[in-house]
Amino acid sequence: MIDQQARSATAIVLDAHSGAVVAMATAPGYDANDVPVVTPRYLPNRAVTDTYEPGSTFKLVTVAGALSDGAVTPQTKFTLPYSITVADKTIHDAHPRGTETLTFPKSSPSPRTSARSRSPSSSDGNAWLTG
């Protein structure tokens, strides 16, 4: 939290095989033995009470599902434009950015993105999932 100057943080660890919650934490925390002095906004467990915009976080779920179904491979590259149009609505990132490419580094199973200099048309609703 300090490095990113965040006001709060949430982490949930799941068992990859069963989906069971292994650990859950939120910060800032408080001393459960001294609840009367805790600022009320710190009492709820934000990991389970708050809603989150899926945004970039959901790209991981999409790619994991596509890998699991065999629709893509770790060598597949995904184009991530700043915005896409779905029906009559345009969806975009919170902050302007150029088009990026999502790839899997050879040394790690975790995806990463890199900026590209050219942007495809934002009207191409499938651009974010093309290999």
Catalytic residues: 56
Q: By the 8 A CB rule, do 59 and 111 touch?
A: yes
DSSP 8-class letter at 61 = H
Residue 60: partners with Cβ closer than 8 Å, 6 or more residues away: 111
Q: By the 8 A CB rule, do 121 and 127 touch?
A: yes
Q: By the 8 A CB rule, do 120 and 127 touch?
A: yes
CA distance 110 to 100: 16
CA distances from 62 to 8, 98, 101 (A): 26, 21, 15
